[in-house]
Amino acid sequence: MRGFVRFVSGLLTFAFLGMSFVAVMALLLRANFTQPGPLTHSAVTVIPRGEGVQEIAARLEREGIVSDRRLFVAQYLAQGFMGGKQVTLQAGEFEFRKQASLSDVLDTLAQGKAVLYRLTIPEGLTSQQVVARLKADENLTGEVTEIPPEGSLLPDTYRFSRGMARADILERMQSDQRRFIAAIWDKRQPDLPFQTIEQALILASIVEKETGRADERERVAAVFVNRMRRKMRLQSDPTIVYGIAGGQGTLGRPITRSDIDTRTPYNTYQIDGLPPTPIANPGRATIQATLNPAKTQDLYFVADGTGGHTFSTTLREHNEAVQVWRKAEREIRARQAAAGTAVQAPTTSDAADPPAVTTARGGSSDSASGQSATQAGPAVPLPQRKPKR
């Protein structure tokens, strides 16, 4: 009996000592867990995919982020034990502040608080141009095996961590666009001359290429909506460019008379109605404007020489506005010549004898446009003459 009592007593003593040891170690770990770390300045490190906790701990010690890799591993194991499940350390690029504690370091890696980069996709780029920007960003990885459909990407500023796949960014752009369209589609004006989201995006892409001014989007959209209602051709210069250059997005030169006369599925001087697909990726504001155009009777618009446009409801008014623009254009060219700056090659209407009833480009008598936003400008650019037919 005495032997059993001694055994139990020894077992309890051992358990007590063990618990005391664990408690002391826990206190020591806790002290080390929260005390300032060895970093004398902020530092950034990259944790590659596939590295285990031992490799990560060695990397952190080697780069001076933690003082002892064994303490880091102990804290990692303790966190999993106390939390009831194992902590997962994330891969990525991470920034650690000056004197970051073990707690800070472990929290940063466990929560995946990676350094985020920004990629801005401007409104009006083609999908091919968007992919080119993704390929040029060295912080992204992976190949893009297929150019997304035109008009399916939502222009915006996207944040990502180093090593994210380019395909994932494209998927996010497409998902964001679908979600945005779904949220506003039912709030569109009634009786618009198009029935589907795809048709709305086609028209929005044209509006996007026609003007970059926020205060003109609804009115430019109204011109094209009014033309569609009257079964008039849209006569938009950017559609000429897309029909020839496709996803490249630019001709690299002014539009010529032969370009206007060239029949492509996209040339709205030559076809009725909308092109078969969008010609670019329109932004939120332009999609909104297309679904809710201004209430006007405008059928034409032409550059006014100040960066904006003059809108007209009749061809007579439009032709008068065109003459005002031509005068302003001649004055600009004269100033450029006097200053010795490069002068832009003649546009179609400058190169050819204008018809009896001239339009912004000297095209057919119901044209509404001026210089396309996609044309290459002079060294000292003229005011933009977006297509305003």
What is the length of the chain? 389
Q: Which pLDDT tens digit goes with each residue over 306-332?
A: 888 999 999 999 999 999 999 888 888
Three-state DSSP at 305 gives coil
The H or E element that residue 20 is part of is: helix 2-34
Average pLDDT score, the chain: 82
Look at the alpha carbons of 76, 77, 78, 81 in this order and tell me if their dihedral is positive or negative. positive
Q: Which pLDDT tens digit goes with each residue over 141-187?
A: 999 999 999 999 999 999 998 888 999 999 999 999 999 999 999 99
Sequence ranges of the domains in the chain: 33-114, 116-185, 196-351
Written as six digits, the tokens of 93 are: 């690029």
Nearest CA among 184, 130, 140 for reference residue 162:
140
In this prediction, residue 378 carries a pLDDT of 25
Rg (CA), the chain: 32
Nearest CA among 103, 70, 108 for reference residue 89:
108
Q: How far apart are CA 256 and CA 269, in angstroms?
A: 13
Q: In 320-340, which positions are buried (b, 16+ CB within 10 angstroms) versus exposed (e)?
A: ebbeebbebbeebbeebeeee
In this prediction, residue 362 carries a pLDDT of 32
Which of 96-100, 227-231, 235-239 shows the lowest mean pLDDT across its residues? 96-100
Q: Which pLDDT tens digit goes with each residue over 44-77?
A: 898 998 899 999 999 999 999 998 988 888 888 8
CATH number of 33-114: 3.30.1490.480
Nearest CA among 343, 321, 318, 317 for reference residue 330:
343
* Alpha-carbon torsion, ordered 101, 104, 108, 114, to 10 deg: -70
Residue 95 DSSP class: E
In this prediction, residue 365 carries a pLDDT of 34
